[in-house]
Amino acid sequence: MKIHEYQAKELFAKYDVPVPKGVALSSHWESYDAALEVGGDTFVVKAQIHAGGRGKAGGVKLAHSPDEVAEIAENMLGQTLVTKQTGPEGKQIKKILVSAAVNIDKEYYLAILVDRKVKRLAIMASTAGGMDIEQVADEQPEKIQLEHAQYNCQLFPYTARKIAYGLGFRGRLARECARIITNLHRLFMEKDCTLIEVNPLVLTHEGSLLCVDAKMDIDDNALPRHPELRRLRDFEEENNLEILARRYGVDYVKLDGQIGCMVNGAGLAMATMDVIKQYGGEPANFLDIKGSANKENVVKAFKLLTADRHVKALLINIFGGIVRGDMVALGILEAMKEVKVNMPVVVRIEGTNAEEGRRMLAESSHKFILADGLAEAARKVVAVLPGGNR
Amino acid sequence: MSIFVDKNTRVVVQGITGREGSFHTRQCIAYGTQVVAGVTPGKGGQKMDEVPVFNTVAEAVAETGANTSLIFVPPDFAPDAILEGTDAGLELIVCITDGIPTMEMLKVMHEVTCAATRVIGPNCPGIITPGQAKVGILPGHIHLPGNVGVISRSGTLTYEVVSQLTKLGIGQSTCLGIGGDAVIGTDFVDCLKAFEHDPETKVVLMIGEIGGQAEETAAEYIGLNVTKPVVSFVAGLSAPPGKRMGHAGAIISGGKGTAHAKLEALQAAGVHVVQDPSQIGLTVKDVLAGL
């Protein structure tokens, strides 16, 4: 689960990690007062969307008075921001963060993340702050310092010190940097994060360290044990169908094609999208019905797929495995009684008793288009699209 | 020959009395797997069908000589189950459980890497050596004994490619799903190493997906160490960035982990890369014919 910068900064503050004073808001009318509350004479207005690259895309603006803050807020809220991480359709700005501007002497990069390769927590730091860290890793890998947490994901004091000194801090600042790293690690552990990224961590002109940006991802698998984090989810950031899918307990991602996909298994669901593309179509979604293709699951999937008005045809691809093909067919037929499906449905069932399943579908009153194998399924579903596919 | 499991594998099922546990235990036994014990704390002394149930893995090992465990316990208890199996000195632990928090797996893997135990999964379909033993939830009937080693990050996609192979009359030496989570036990490189040394395996089929760097790491390893031909498909060419595609590990983030980058790395390592998932079986057939 992604959370916004302002939410991450609120958590940082609770863990005694220094952040600039700021106020988040969703109506530009609040922005003037927000600026007064923040205080000072220079402000930063930042778009709060779940994507990086905001600065270069015009989602971060400097203001020199509360009036100017109000002006920027009015322009920014409601605008669609296209960054290199949002995709071409961009994301609408529904919240902004008004912060006190900071006099920057030097910028650093700091992150805690899961190093999948060595199966440990890693702390990553760089003196090349405020830049795209992937680019730094490619072009100046020597500027990146990587340290790992120890037994039970513990961070020992020496590791925090090693990073602080490695970044070039000495004396009071080294101690402060190590303290920030230690506190961020505690936050990471206690809130089951998969990523905390501070880019940049700033040394101010006045000689203090501040986290000017904050990114935090929380492990979906751990959400059941963090009820307090659930309300941090911003439903405005998600597609309505994706919200519904989560309630249904199926994995669904909305895409922008016309072919609705219903598949069991995440890998096969991705491969199904890929094969549709290979045959000239565009998938409307990723959908893993999880578990077996019983009536309840198929009903949920049908409801999601038919609620997407761009969907013009359905492709059901179920690899039965241990679940029998005739049971899958029964599930589909039962679900059809409950949900109205007014479009061509291509079905591919594989596994034990798949023949029987296919026969049941062929003999039903619905005009299923049956397919044998992935390629045939994709070819048939692309062919039934009205007026061809985009 | 085969890798990791064979007809001599002696399995203890952790969580054997649960719904999933009992169902799949019967399936494994029907396939011919030696399931010698089950473990459910508090139910020691009972039987699941003919299989004796113990309170602890250590007892099960002492009484039955089990060397491999298959875990079906819920995500809250699965990390503990893996640690218990490791403590009991098992050679192999296959964890099917989906939904274990990443942090718990990190802690578990730290312990596991200090022991001699191999963990497959979590969030995986398990492992099968066709005609010998099945330790997991894979459908046995789609498999055929033969010479292609199959490694995959997914479940049903593994069944899909295996079924393509079997329909073409191409058998498999061992097939395993290594799991869709970000932190897993056995990885591609471990399997590649084992298949390279397995005389039965002539070709390796590796099914990757978006997210992480596992395919890139595998490509590097293949380039330097694998003499057998490798065929590979990477799912998620059409996946958008920033979205978790079902599997916890399947997410393109910060421009990293795209299918394109993985395919390029694999191609550069001399791997036969397949872009159309419906052509995986045929590609393996061509590669086998060229041997």
Query: Is the omega angle on the peptide bond into residue A227 within 30 degrees of 0, that is, cis?
Result: no
At the second CATH level, the architecture of A1-19+103-237 is 2-Layer Sandwich (3.30)
Cα distance from N-terminal residue to C-terminal residue, chain A: 32
Of the candidates A250, A313, A318, A320, the residue with the CA atom closest to the CA atom of residue A286: A250
Query: Residue A324 and residue A329: Cα distance in Å, rounded?
Result: 9
| Nearby residues of A240 by Cβ (< 8 Å), 6 or more positions away | none
CATH topology of domain B10-120: Rossmann fold (3.40.50)
Q: Is A289 exposed, middle or buried (0-12, 13-18, 19+ CB in 10 A)?
A: buried
Phi, psi of A386 (to 5 degrees): -65, 130
State mean pLDDT over B52-70.
Answer: 98
State mean pLDDT over B57-74.
Answer: 98
Convert the pLDDT of each residue in B107-130 to its tens digit: 999 999 989 999 999 999 999 999
Q: Where are the domains of chain B?
A: 10-120, 139-289
* Among B24, B141, B143, B247, the one annotated catalytic: B247
Give the pLDDT of residue A241.
Answer: 93
| B68-71 and B10-14 strand pairing | parallel
Q: Is the pLDDT of residue A94 over 60?
A: yes
Residues in chain A: 390
For residue B121, is it left (φ>0), alpha (ψ between -120 and 50) or beta? left
Closest chain A residue to B23, measured at CA: A322
Give the pLDDT of residue B283.
Answer: 98
- Give the helix ranges, DSSP H, for chain B: 19-31, 57-64, 78-87, 102-114, 156-167, 188-197, 214-225, 259-268, 280-289
Give catalytic status of residue A252 as yes or no.
no
Q: Is the pLDDT of residue B169 over 90?
A: yes
Q: Where are the domains of chain A?
A: 1-19+103-237, 21-101, 239-383
Convert the pLDDT of each residue in A149-187 to its tens digit: 988 899 999 999 999 999 999 999 999 999 999 999 999
Q: What is the mean pLDDT of chain A?
A: 93
Whether the CA torsion A252, A257, A259, A263 is positive or negative: it is negative
Q: Which residues of B touch A119 (CB under 8 A)?
A: 105-106, 109-110, 113, 183
State mean pLDDT over B20-26.
Answer: 95
CATH topology of domain B139-289: Rossmann fold (3.40.50)
pLDDT band at A390 (very low <50, low <70, confident <90, very high): very low
User: Torsion over CA of B231, B93, A225 and A248, rounded to 10 degrees?
Assistant: 50
Convert the pLDDT of each residue in B207-263 to its tens digit: 999 999 999 999 999 999 999 999 999 999 999 888 889 898 888 877 788 999 999
Give the pLDDT of residue A388.
Answer: 54
Q: Which residues of A touch B236 (CB under 8 A)?
A: 270, 273-274
Please report the residues numbered 29 through 68 in chain B whose beta carbons come closer than 8 angstroms to any beta carbon of chain A: none
Domain A239-383 coded CATH 3.40.30.10: no
For B15-58, the DSSP string reads: TTTSHHHHHHHHHHHHHT-EEEEEE-TT-TT-EETTEEEESSHH
Of the candidates B200, B179, B193, the residue with the CA atom closest to the CA atom of residue B102: B179
Give A79's DSSP letter: P
Contact A288, A338 (CB under 8 A): no
Mutual angle of helices A5-14 and A171-190, in 10-degree steps: 110
Number of H-type helices and E-type strands within chain A: 13, 18
Interface test with B, best of A268, A273, A317, A381 (most B CBs within 10 A): A268
State mean pLDDT over A252-276.
Answer: 95
Give A50's DSSP letter: S
CB burial readout A332-350, b (16+ within 10 A) else e: bbebbeebeeeebbbbbbb
What's the half-sphere exposure (Cβ side, CA atoms, 13 Å) at B41? Answer: 5
Q: ∠ CA A329-A327-B122 to the nearest 5 degrees? A: 110
B121: distance to nearest CA of chain A, Å? 13
**CB distance from A138 to chain B under 8 Å?**
no
**CB distance from B247 to chain A under 8 Å?**
yes
State mean pLDDT over A291-303.
Answer: 85
For B13-25, the DSSP string reads: EETTTSHHHHHHH
Q: What is the mean pLDDT of chain B?
A: 96
**CB distance from B81 to chain A under 8 Å?**
no
- Asked if the domains at B10-120 and B139-289 fall in one CATH topology, the answer is yes
| Token pair recorded at residue B136 | 């997991």
State mean pLDDT over B39-67.
Answer: 97
Of A87, A153, A265, the CB nearest to B103: A153
CA distances (Å), origin A215, targets A11, A90, A163: 11, 19, 20
Give the pLDDT of residue A360.
Answer: 93
| Token pair recorded at residue A107 | 């910028």
Give catalytic status of residue A109 as yes or no.
yes
Q: Is the pLDDT of residue A128 over 70?
A: yes
At the second CATH level, the architecture of A21-101 is 2-Layer Sandwich (3.30)
Q: Is the pLDDT of residue B28 over 90?
A: yes
Interface test with B, best of A89, A91, A116 (most B CBs within 10 A): A116
Convert the pLDDT of each residue in A205-260 to its tens digit: 999 999 999 999 999 999 999 999 988 999 888 889 999 998 998 999 999 899 99
Convert the pLDDT of each residue in A304-327 to its tens digit: 999 999 999 999 999 977 778 888
Of the candidates B238, B228, B285, B291, the residue with the CA atom closest to the CA atom of residue B263: B238
